[in-house]
Structure 1
Amino acid sequence: MSATARARQITAADIRARKGQGPLVCLTAYTTPMAKIVDRHCDLVLVGDSLGMVVYGLPSTLGVTMEMMIAHGQAVMRGLGQAMCVIDMPFGSYEESPEQAFRNAARLMRDTGAGAVKLEGGVAMADTVAFLTARGIPVMGHVGLTPQAVHSLGGYKVQGRGADGDRVAADARAVAEAGAFAVVLEKVPDGLGRRITADLAVPTVGIGAGNGCDGQVLVVDDMLGLFADFKPKFVKRYADLAGAADRAIADFAAEVRDRAFPTEDHSFADEGKA
């Protein structure tokens, strides 16, 4: 969908209707400046709990709080005009009960203005998805590798190989039938991604799930090459911003030490002088 074709902010209903109508584009954003850039190119912008690792240097997403998600959600919404904002529900904010999930999802949407929430889990979360959607909260599902369950999954491993594919497919079907307007498929084999995409009536958004999904999402910092030492197999780097930043900072440091910066062009004259 081109920027010129958009007359208003995209909604969950718009995304659901895009099934089979061409690939959806999604990136993460955590700040206002990045949101302004990705808004021009994306259908969906995800304020992911990946911010715990990307922004705060945490070892996993488990330490992310509601307060973090709200602060970054507010920042991203200030930069969006057209793309739909989806905000992650952090670990511990929805698993206890549908009622707990509703209170926290309502808070996230009220305090940020986001268009939807995303939660992880399949069959076990279907009742919660149904509870939220019945009460006016659009939900994006997330199955396959679910980072909040990294300890029980035994690490960041590919999910759904062999007979395990039936489990992942059942998870995707459960949240879609419960009312999710789209489902993220993370780190599953290409064939399984295609199978699930063909099976669901709502769009799939893949991350490490092959080219057969209805859309693709990446962590924006990964695809921009902001982490020189981190490159998952499913990430394509479209830039080397870490290298560019390193070179720019090295040039700055050298000029300061050589007293080559600031020059007169970057300084203010005394009063009365031109």
Structure 2
Amino acid sequence: MKKLTIGSIQKRKHSLPLVMITAYDALFARLLSESADILLVGDSLNMSFGGNPDTLSTTMDQMIYHTNAVCKGASEVFVITDMPFGTYCDEKTALENAIRVYRETPSDAIKIEGGADKAHLVRHLTSNGIAVCGHIGLLPQAFRAEGGYKVKGKTEEETISLIADAQAIEKAGAFIIVIEGVKANVAERVAQSVSIPVIGIGAGNGVDGQVLVFSDMLGLYEPFVPKFVKQYMNGAAAVKEAINSYKNEVQSKEFPNENFIY
């Protein structure tokens, strides 16, 4: 599969939906690369890999480490790196950290959360050669400030605000937008209001593609399953069954048999 470019990604608007999946390591990146158009090195790794309750303590060092691993496993896939909480509070800080991503990894773009209030950051980054993916709607990095993870687009006022967010980010130079936790009919209106692709997560089917956390999609993450997640396999049960089989064979000395010795 030929690696997508920003141009070819943007041509998928109103066309073949884009497939985006999170990835955190070379092993899964290699497996996912056969089907994914875009791999997102999400700060959600802080939860699934780090065992933390949220994404807020993720660091730039972590994101750079995991981005390099993903890029090694999937060199022919377009990769986007999440900017962690607190790393793009102002233009100077945002650019310094984005430059770190570009200098220290082969990542193709970065992603920041926020709407019209972050458009000046998007503009500053893109004017300095950084490709930016926007993120609007439910913002995981803002959950404390908002008192939890809340679905957006429940009122016409929120809908108008989301459309304004998307348009502001597009005007500032973002090449793609992730929209999360938004009522499906509203997400569709948002997608129709801009000329760049809008990728949904918990935002219905009226957008230009979908993204899921790979460990959610594969049924590997057991503590919590969001309503919008479809589990395409019961990965946790399959892994546990395999490990239990290994345990039983080790304890019974069935493994290793003559087929697995020198």
Q: TM-score if structure 2 supplies the norm length?
A: 0.96
Which residue number in structure 2 is paired with residue 235 of structure 1? 229
Partners in 1 of 2:85 and 2:30 — Cα distance? 27
SS of equivalent to 1:58:
coil
1:203 Cα offset (Å):
0.5
Partners in 1 of 2:161 and 2:32 — Cα distance? 34
Partners in 2 of 1:92 and 1:81 — Cα distance? 29
Partners in 1 of 2:252 and 2:104 — Cα distance? 48
SS of equivalent to 1:152:
coil
Which residue number in structure 1 is paired with residue 37 of structure 2? 43
The answer as to 2:104 corresponding to 1:111 is: yes
Partners in 1 of 2:64 and 2:152 — Cα distance? 30
The answer as to 2:160 corresponding to 1:166 is: yes
The answer as to 2:18 corresponding to 1:15 is: no
Partners in 1 of 2:10 and 2:91 — Cα distance? 23
Q: How many residues align?
A: 261
Which residue number in structure 1 is paired with residue 47 of structure 2? 53
Partners in 2 of 1:229 and 1:68 — Cα distance? 22
Partners in 2 of 1:14 and 1:105 — Cα distance? 23
Q: Which amino acid aligns with 1:153?
A: E
Mapping for residues 76-155 of structure 1, pairs under 5 Å: 76-95=70-89, 97-155=90-148
Q: TM-score if structure 1 supplies the norm length?
A: 0.92
Root-mean-square deviation (Å): 1.1
Partners in 1 of 2:115 and 2:237 — Cα distance? 39
Q: Which amino acid aligns with 1:151?
A: R
Partners in 2 of 1:154 and 1:160 — Cα distance? 17
1:218 Cα offset (Å):
0.2
1:89 Cα offset (Å):
0.5
- 1:225 corresponds to which of 216, 219, 223: 219
1:229 Cα offset (Å):
4.1
Which residue number in structure 2 is paired with residue 271 of structure 1? none
1:218-269 residue CA offsets vs partner (Å, 9 max, x unmatched): 001100010234221111111111110011111111112222222222223x
Partners in 1 of 2:172 and 2:55 — Cα distance? 25
Once the two structures are aligned, what percentage of the paired residues are identical? 44
Q: Which amino acid aligns with 1:123?
A: A
1:49 Cα offset (Å):
0.4
Q: Which amino acid aligns with 1:158?
A: V
1:70-117 residue CA offsets vs partner (Å, 9 max, x unmatched): 00000000012322100000111111x111101100111221110000
Which residue number in structure 1 is paired with residue 191 of structure 2? 197
**Structure 2: which 5+ runs fail to align?**
none
1:177 Cα offset (Å):
1.2
Partners in 1 of 2:190 and 2:66 — Cα distance? 31
Partners in 1 of 2:117 and 2:239 — Cα distance? 44
1:124 Cα offset (Å):
1.2
Greater Cα radius of gyration, structure 1 or 2: 1
Partners in 1 of 2:126 and 2:51 — Cα distance? 33
Partners in 1 of 2:230 and 2:71 — Cα distance? 26
- 1:175 corresponds to which of 166, 169, 187: 169
